[in-house]
Amino acid sequence: MTSDLKNVPMSQCANCSVSPPLTRGKLLPVSPYAPGLKSGVSHMVQR
């Protein structure tokens, strides 16, 4: 994954970040948009 991240052009990544897999997942509430889902925000690109 680290090597993949190096391939992200800086222009595209100016406003994005990859959430740390475990810590973010623990903080998240259940999404009201997807009943039952824990929300997969633990692993996404914010952009």
Partner 1 sequence: MKYLASLTLLLSLMTLPVSAQDADSSNLLKVGDDMPEFTLKTLDGQTVSSDDLYGKVVLINFFATWCPPCNQELPLLEKDIWAKYKEDENFALLVIDREETEEKVAPFVEKKKFTMPFYLDPNREIYGLFAKKDIPRNYLFDKEGRLMLCSKGYSKEDFGMLKRELDALLK
Joined together, the tokens standing for residue 31 give: 């999404």
Number of residues counted as binding partner 1 (CB under 8 A)? 32
Site for partner 1 contains 10 (CB under 8 A)? no
Residues 32, 24 contacting (CB under 8 angstroms): no
Instruction: Please state, in angstroms and as integers, the Cα–Cα distance from residue 28 to each residue in 10, 18, 24, 34, 35, following that order.
Output: 28, 15, 7, 13, 14
Site for partner 1 contains 20 (CB under 8 A)? no
Site for partner 1 contains 17 (CB under 8 A)? no
Site for partner 1 contains 33 (CB under 8 A)? yes
Cβ 41 to partner 1 shortest distance, Å = 4
